[in-house]
Structure 1
Amino acid sequence: MRSRNRLEGGDNALLTSLQMQEADQAAIAGGAEGSALMQAAGAAVAVAVGVRWKMRPVIVLCGPGNNGGDGFVAASHLRSAGWPVKLALLGSRDALVGEAAGAADLWHGSTVPFLPGCLDGAGIVVDAMFGAGLSRPLAGPALDLVMALKHRHIPVCAIDVPSGVDGSTGDVLGAAARAEVTVTFFRKKPGHLLYPGRGLCGDVVLADIGIPASVLNAGSQDTWENGPDLWLESYPWPQPEGFKYKRGEVLVLGGEAVTGASRMTALAASRAGAGLVTVAAPVRVWSIYAASLMNAIVHSFDGPTDFNTMLADARRNVIAIGPGAGVNASTRDYVLAALATKRAVVLDADALTSFAEAPEQLFDAIKGPCVLTPHAGEFLRLFDVDGDKLHRTRRAAQRCGAVVILKGPDTVIAAPDGRAIINANAPPQLATGGSGDVLTGFVAALLAQGMAPFEAAAAAVWLHGAAASHFGLGLVAQDLPDVLPAVLQNLKALSDTVGRS
C-alpha cells in the first residue's frame, strides 16, 4: 500500500462522524466559511436531485441541526430552479443556531407541519433530518415520518446518510429511512459501505464542497474503501527477468472427503500468478487430484511426517490450509507445523474451525506473516468480540497477530496495527459455495509473489469481486479463476496508464 502520507488526501479514506466534524472544524479554522460549506452542500444535493429525477413536487424534511441547514439550502436551490418545493422542520425555527439558522432565513417558500401528512402529494423526499453523527434511536415525529415513508413508494434523497443510520458503523438506530441516493461530502463514512446502512443508502454521491484534503491529520487515517489506488503500486506484475521460483510457490493442503475445495484453491493460486502450485494430496485420494490438476504438482502424503517433508522445501514460501481439509486434530497439527516455519500462511474454513475449542493455541502459534479468511460463522468460533463489523475485525486482527479478512457482502480487511479496509465491489452472485476457496488461492498467490499480507488481502478481495462482476449471473466458484485473466488485463492497463501520468 502507498505510504499513509500519500493516502491521506485520497478519496478512498473513510471518516467516522467525529473525524468528519474535525475536518469541518479544521477547514473553518483554516479560513473556510461555515456558511459557504453549507451552501455548497445544499447545492450539491439539489444537483443530485435534478440529475436523478424529472421535475416533480419535493418535500424537504429538515432536522434541527446542520443536516437540516443543508436541507434548507437544497430546498432554496430547487425552488429557484422551478421545482415545486415544500419544507417541513422538526422543531422550532427559533431554536436553530449558527449556519443552520442562516440557511433557514434564506428560505422563502412553503413550510408545512412536520407530520406524516406532509408526504401527501410529494414525488421526491429529501431526508435532511439527521446526519452521520446521530447516536440515539429515532423517536417522536422523526420516527413517525420514517415509518410513514416505509409504507409509501416515494423516492428519497438522503443528505449525508439516511436518518437513523449510524455513519460510523452502518448500524440502524431503531429505524431508518431508505434512500435511492445519498449525497455525502468530502469523504465517505464507514456506514456507507457496511450493512445494514449500505443497503439503505442507495447510490452514494460524494460531493466536493471545498474542504481541502490538507485538513486530514497526518497519520490519522486508518480506514479506507478498497480499490486499486491502495495497492496497485505494489502489485506483482510479471517481469521480463522473472522465473517460476521468483514468482513463488504455494503449497495447498488437500482434503480427503471434499477434494473440490482445495482443487479450486490450487487453480486460483495458479491463475493469480504463483510460479508453482503444489498440492499435498492424501494418499487415498491422490489419483483424484492428479487426474484433475494439470496446473499443479500433486504429491501424495500419508500423515505428519510426509507433510513435514514437503514443508522442508523452503521454496514453498506460502502454505494455504483449510478448504476441504476436514475439522479434526490432524488439520490442527498441519496448521501448527505450517506456522512453525514462519513462512506466509493463509488459513480458511476447516483450518479455522479446527481451533474452535482452542483459539488461543492458534493465536499463540502465529509468529510470521499470516492471513485468516473467516466467514461470519467461522469468525464467531474463534473471536469473542462485540461491536460493529469494523470494530470486531480490528480487534480480531490485533488479538491474533494476523491480517483478518471477515468475508461477506461488506468484507472487512484488518491488520494487527489497526489499519482497515472495507470492500464494496462484491456482487450478490459471490454468495456461492466454493467462492471462499478461490479467495484463499488468490491471497496465497499474491503473498507468494511478494506482496505484504495487508495489501495482498485487499488486492485479492477486490479481484475476487471484480471477477464475479465480470462473469455476471450464473456464476459458480470455478468460473472465478477462469475470468480472472480478463480482470487482470484491465487492471494492467490501468497500472500502465497511472505509470505514464
Structure 2
Amino acid sequence: MRNELLSPAEMAEADRLAIAEGPLDGYGLMQRAGEAVAAVVLARYPAAKRMHVLCGPGNNGGDGYVVARLLQESGVNVALWESGEPRAGSDAALAAADCSLEPKPLSAFAAETGSLVVDALYGAGLSKAPAGDAARAIRISTDLGLPVVAIDLPSGVSGESGAILGSAFRGAVTVTFARKKPGHLLLPGRGQCGEIVLADIGIGDGIIARIAPRTFENVPALWLPAFPVPAVDAHKYRRGHASIFSGGPSATGAARLTALAAARSGAGAVTVLSPANAMQVNAAHLTSIMLRKVDAVVDLGAFLTDRRPSSFVLGPGFGIGEKARDFALALLGAGQAQDSGVEGLVLDADGITSFRDEPETLFQAAHGSGAPALVMTPHEGEFGRLFPDMADDKALSKLAKARAAAALANAIVIYKGADTVIAAPDGRAAINSNGAPWLATAGSGDVLAGIVAGLLAQGMPAFEAACAAVWIHAEAGSRFGPGLIAEDLPLAMVPVLRELMESTAG
C-alpha cells in the first residue's frame, strides 16, 4: 500500500534509513527528487516565459538547486533566488555547487506575468511562519497570480497539521516524495496544495514498513480486505441485524434515513426502535424496514433477547437527555452479558450531545469489560461538547485531537468535516480525501451513521467499518454532485458498493 501518511519526523527517519541502506546517498535522493520536480514542471508548463526557482538553505532548497540546474540544461529561462547559503558540507551545498546558475538574493525577488515559481523554500518541516523575504515572495507570487510548483509542501503549510503558518504559497501542483504527509490532506493546507504528485525517489516500501506509520489516507486499499461480501448461502440474519432508535412523532425522519442507509450498506435486517407515540408515523413510511416499540430500557432488553441485533444507532432525531443516556449505557453494558450479540453502537448527533455534562460516564462505560465497540460521529460543535479541552487546544491538529479523543473515550471517533479524520483507541488514524461540498446538507450525517451500523452488523471491524463508511458516503455524494439531498444518498451508494464488491472478487 502507498496510502500511509508520514509526519515530517517520520519522513526524516525514512530518509535516514534509506541512506543507510543504500545504494543512494543523501545527495542521490536529492537528485532524484529534483528530477521528479523538473519533469513535472517541463510537462505542465512548457510555455512559461521564465521559471523562478526559490531556494531555502535546507534540503528543500537543495532539491530546488537540482531543479534549477535541470531546467537550465533543458534550455529554459531560469532565475535562481536563495534565502541563505546552504550549510557547508551538506547535501544542499553539493547541489548548489553543481548548479552553474548565479543565485540572486531572495530579498531582491521580482517576477513577471506569464512566469512560473518553483517553491523550494521550506517544505514539510516548517514550524514557524514565513517572514521577511519569504513572506514578501509569497505575496508577490500571489498578487501576480503566478502558477506555483511546490516541492514537498507549499512553504507556509505545516506538514504535521495542515495549518497555514502566517502566509503560504498556493500551489498549482505539489510534488512530494515517498508518501504524502498529513498536511497534504488536512485543511486548510489541502486547499493550498493543488494537484498532488507522489514521486518515487528510491525510498522503498520496506523502509516505510520499518517506520510502521499509524496514519493513513482513507482509500479502499486500507479496509477492502475486511469489506463484507455475502456468502452464497447467506440469509438475512447471517448478514447482520442493525437497529436504529427513532425520535418522537415529529422527529422520525432522521431515523428512517439512517435505517435505509444501514439496509443499503448490506445489513440483512434493519429495525427501527420507536417510542409508542411514533409507531403509526413510522409504520406509514416503512416497508422493508421492521418496526419495534421501545420506550424504556426494559423494552430494549426484551428486544435484545428476542432478536439479537448486532449493531445500533442512537442519536438521529432522538432528542437530548436522560433517555438517550440510559439507552446508550444499557447497550454498552450489554456486552458484559453472556453472548449478547451486540457488536457495536454508533452514537451520533443527539446521542453525543446527551453526554455533554457527564462525558466521563460514557467513557467509563466504553472502557468496561466486554463493552461493544463504540463509534462516535461528531462534527466540530459536537466534538467541542464532549471534548472541550481538546477542542480549545490550538496546539493540537485535527488529527491529534481525534487521536486523543479516541484514546480517552475508548471509541472510534469519526471527526467529521471536509477533511474527516477517523481515529481508533490503538493510535491508528485515517484522513479522508474524497469529500465533496454536496454532502453539506441536512440528514447527510444520519446516512453516514447508518452505513457504519450496516457494516458493523455484517461483522466488519469497527475502525475499518468507520473508514469504509466515510469513504462510501463521500464517494456517493461526490458522484451525485449538485442537487444532492440526503434522501438521494442511499440509492447513490449502489454503484459504489457494486464496484467495491467487484474489487473484492478480482
TM-score range, shorter chain: over 0.9
- Name the amino acid aligned to 2:279: W
Query: Which residue does the alignment assign to 2:338?
Result: none
1:243-392 to structure 2, matched below 5 A, reads 243-256=235-248, 257-313=250-306, 315-342=308-335, 343=342, 344-366=344-366, 367-383=371-387, 384-385=389-390, 386=393, 387-392=396-401
1:470 Cα deviation from its structure 2 partner: 1.8
CA RMSD of aligned residues (A): 1.5
> Structure 1 residue 78 and structure 2 residue 82: aligned?
no
Matches within 5 A, 1:448-459: 448-459=457-468
User: Which amino acid counterpart does residue 363 of structure 1 have in structure 2?
Assistant: F
Cα distance in 1 between the residues matched to 2:503 and 2:241: 27
Structure 1 position 478 matched with structure 2 position 471: no
1:30 aligns with 2:30: no
Q: Residues 193-235 of structure 1: CA distance to partner in whole angstroms, max 9, x if unpaired?
A: 1011111111110000111222235473211111111111111
CA distance in 2, matches of 1:437, 1:402: 19
Contact 1:250–1:445 (CA under 8 A) maintained in structure 2: yes
Within 5 A, what are the aligned runs for 1:87-486? Answer: 87-92=80-85, 95=87, 97-115=89-107, 117-121=109-113, 123-218=115-210, 220-256=212-248, 257-313=250-306, 315-342=308-335, 343=342, 344-366=344-366, 367-383=371-387, 384-385=389-390, 386=393, 387-486=396-495
* Cα distance in 2 for residues equivalent to 1:75 and 1:294: 66
CA contact (8 A) 2:112 2:144 kept: no
Farther off after superposition, 486-495 or 239-248: 486-495
Distance in 2, matches of 1:37 and 1:368, equals 47
Question: Within the alignment, does 1:54 sit opposite 2:53 as a pair?
Answer: no
Cα deviation digits, residues 159-180 of structure 1 (max 9, x gap)? 0001011101111222211111
- Selected match of 1:12 from 3, 6, 12: 3
Alpha-carbon distance, 1:122 to partner: 5.3
Q: CA deviation at 1:311?
A: 3.0
Q: How far apart in 1 are the matches of 2:455 and 2:47?
A: 50
Contact 2:126–2:156 (8 Å) recurs in 1: yes
Distance between the aligned counterparts of 2:57 and 2:256, measured in 1? 58
Contact 1:124 1:154 in 2 (8 A): yes
> Match for 1:495 among 485, 490, 504?
504
Are 1:413 and 1:422, in contact at CA under 8 Å, matched by a contact in 2? yes
Instruction: Give the alignment's TM-score, normalised by structure 2.
Output: 0.93
8 Å Cα contact 1:58/1:122 also seen in 2: no
Cα distance in 2 between the residues matched to 1:452 and 1:217: 23
Tell me the distance in 2 between the aligned counterparts of 1:155 and 1:329.
56
What do the CA deviations read for 1:409-461 (whole angstroms, capped 9, x no partner)? Answer: 11111111111111111111111111110010000010000111011111111
Shift of 1:331: 1.3
Alignment check: 8 A CA contact 1:281 1:299 kept:
yes
SS at match of 1:119: coil
2:110/2:140 contact within 8 Å kept: no
Q: Please give the alpha-carbon distance, in whole angstroms, between the structure 1 residues aligned to 2:64 and 2:109.
A: 19
| 3-state secondary structure, aligned to 2:263 | helix
Shift of 1:50: 2.2
User: 2:212 is aligned with what amino acid?
Assistant: S
Contact 2:10 2:211 in 1 (8 A): no
Conserved 8 A contact 2:424-2:463: yes
Structure 2 unaligned segments of length 5 or more: list them: 336-341
Would the aligned equivalents of 2:81 and 2:109 in 1 still touch at CA under 8 Å?
Answer: no
CA distance in 2, matches of 1:50, 1:277: 56
* CA apart distance, 1:102: 1.3
- Matched residue of 1:54: which SS? coil
1:21 aligns with 2:30: no
Distance in 2, Cα, partners of 1:295 & 1:324: 21
The aligned counterpart of 1:5 is none
Q: How far apart are 1:308 and its partner, in Å?
A: 3.1
Secondary structure of the residue aligned to 1:295 is coil
Separation (CA, whole Å) in 2 of partners of 1:275 and 1:85 = 63
Query: CA offset at residue 92 of structure 1?
Result: 3.4
User: Whole-Å Cα distance in 1 between the matches of residues 124 and 459 of structure 2?
Assistant: 39
Query: What is the distance in 1 between the residues matched to 2:204 and 2:291?
Result: 56
CA contact (8 A) 2:311 2:457 kept: yes
User: How far is 1:23 from its partner?
Assistant: 0.6
User: Given that residues 35 and 66 in structure 2 are in contact (C-alpha distance below 8 angstroms), is that contact kept between their aligned partners in structure 1?
Assistant: yes
* Distance in structure 2 (CA, Å) of the matches to 1:46 and 1:265: 49
- 2:117 match: secondary structure: strand
Amino acid at match of 1:113: P
Q: What is the distance in 2 between the residues matched to 1:280 and 1:214? A: 50
Alpha-carbon contact 1:61-1:71 (below 8 Å) kept:
yes
The answer to whether the Cα contact below 8 Å between 1:116 and 1:148 also exists between their aligned partners in 2 is: no
Aligned residues: 487
- State the shift of 1:304 in Å: 3.5
CA contact (8 A) 1:112 1:118 kept: no
Partners of 2:125 and 2:159 within 8 A in 1: yes
TM score, norm. by length of structure 1: 0.94
1:348 Cα deviation from its structure 2 partner: 0.4
Secondary structure in 1 matching 2:271: strand
Deviates more, 1:294-303 or 1:485-494: 294-303
Shift of 1:97: 4.1
